[in-house]
Structure 1
């Protein structure tokens, strides 16, 4: 689908991170994208990061200078650098989630202040875990948990069981492109809700928002945004996207085109 910026010029752009604003597991925003974001900020467009990660890398924050950040798939939201909302599991929900049948699974439990990991004997942590300090899962609290992640080949079967027993919980992954990774977040903790809360906090109508995403956990915000841009070609997202951009490396050109339109509209308005 060719690049076609939204008819109504946007007031808020909301970006997923991995596979969208940055390459998967990356830490740097590509140069053309960073330059385009700086132009858009100057033109008065507000920017938000809405990610499954528990924290955006510092270089990404510095490049984007976001007005709002939602992490843990929308479970924790900061607006203007201040905590705006945070969703937690109840102890009973957490007990049900951790009572899994995935032998030798790698399990990661997230709080706002850190992470706790259960690694099978002889298994190495994921590269992103190696760059972080973490503690054993046995030391995790039973309150204040914002997200649980599972790494295992059979997460799809576990996800199906958990959806049947706890349909109010939010499950993402366990399907392409993350067939061996499952994320569980509390009720209402998804990217669509995060986009809605951020737009409300910034006093921006949802119809004047543009959401960018590449994976299944982005579906909810693509459905709700005034304009939806899919990065890549995941079939699951195609019905919810108004247009597609090939990759994070191609995003900069799209955003520069959007900035050109906004600048032209502003110049025309100033002449009248």
Structure 2
């Protein structure tokens, strides 16, 4: 197993990063060892590119990153987007109109940035954004006046629609509704959100695209994740590893479960299977 691995892909929040959104120094060093062995390391996140922490983007020898749940693959050294799968404009507008009728926060990911209306930013607590997430939103979101107008000005450039709920029953009901329509991929990376992308834009599809470009086989890939938006990535990889803090169905479909993100689970699995 150890000699056969050519690429390692990892989710960020709840996986590579601990619950304090930190990348431990020991794990940072281990990724450096990985890269120096010629093994490609690829962060794969639901975050938009400009919301990826600098300490992740500055990992030694890091070249590729999958963002917006697979809607974009970026080349870090050049800053270029090497592959993308955008939401069709009709699907985006339909989703936004439905969401606007609900008491939820709406975010748009486009061009590596996240946008949300000023009315949401000024009332984050009401929409269920609390604690450390407040500073995260304030530091990574660009305020706009009108979401639909933004979409009309940026047609076919929408990577992701992110919806934030304060009511879980409403979230689950809306997820069912969107899933039944079958116009887009609907996933989640936290207990209070829904992430809507093109049906082609999943972490698994992006990883498959990247591996195809690099002539890497699925059995030469290890993937780490904890949430439903990691599922097809874990299924694609020859070794799909779930975090102990992950969702139960993710642990069931994974080929292995490691320690939690607060116990350096990624590091433990790297040392066992790769390094």
Q: When the two structures are superposed, what TM-score results if normalisation uses the length of structure 2?
A: 0.83
**Does residue 1:250 correspond to 2:244, yes or no?**
no
For structure 1, which segment, 92-101 or 49-58, has the greater mean C-alpha deviation from structure 2 after superposition? 92-101
SS at match of 1:123: coil
Q: In the alignment, which residue of structure 2 is the partner of 1:207? A: 219
Q: In the alignment, which residue of structure 2 is the partner of 1:123? A: 123
The answer (yes or no) to whether the contact 1:117–1:134 under 8 Å persists in 2 is yes
* Whole-angstrom distance in 1 between the partners of 2:141 and 2:230: 28
For structure 1, which segment, 135-144 or 113-122, has the greater mean C-alpha deviation from structure 2 after superposition? 113-122
The answer (yes or no) to whether the contact 2:121–2:138 under 8 Å persists in 1 is no
Deviations 1:111-133 (A, max 9, x none): 11432213459622643211125
Residues 1-272 of structure 1 correspond to what in structure 2 (within 5 A)?
6=1, 9-24=4-19, 26=21, 28-55=22-49, 56-63=52-59, 65-79=61-75, 81=78, 82-100=80-98, 102-118=101-117, 119-120=119-120, 123-124=123-124, 126-136=134-144, 138=146, 139-142=149-152, 143=155, 144-152=157-165, 153=167, 154-165=170-181, 167-173=182-188, 178-232=190-244, 233-248=246-261, 249-260=264-275
* Whole-angstrom distance in 2 between the partners of 1:193 and 1:36: 26
* Whole-angstrom distance in 2 between the partners of 1:79 and 1:64: 14
**Cα offset for 1:95?**
1.3
Higher helix share: 2
**CA 1:134–1:79 in structure 2 vs 1: closer, same or farther (change >3 Å)?**
closer
The answer (yes or no) to whether the contact 1:109–1:116 under 8 Å persists in 2 is yes
**Cα offset for 1:160?**
1.2
Number of residues of Structure 1 aligned to a counterpart in Structure 2:
250
**Cα offset for 1:178?**
3.0
The answer (yes or no) to whether the contact 2:73–2:206 under 8 Å persists in 1 is yes
Instruction: Name stretches of at least 5 consecutive residues in structure 2 with no aligned partner.
Output: none
The two structures, once aligned, show a CA RMSD in angstroms of 2.2
**Cα offset for 1:35?**
1.3
* Whole-angstrom distance in 2 between the partners of 1:197 and 1:141: 27
Query: Which protein is bigger by CA-based radius of gyration?
Result: 1
**Cα offset for 1:67?**
2.9
* Whole-angstrom distance in 2 between the partners of 1:204 and 1:121: 42
* Whole-angstrom distance in 1 between the partners of 2:16 and 2:235: 19
Q: When the two structures are superposed, what TM-score results if normalisation uses the length of structure 1?
A: 0.84
Deviations 1:87-137 (A, max 9, x none): 222221111111225532111011114322134596226432111251225
* Whole-angstrom distance in 1 between the partners of 2:145 and 2:217: 41
Deviations 1:33-86 (A, max 9, x none): 111111111111111111100022111121254331110000001246432211
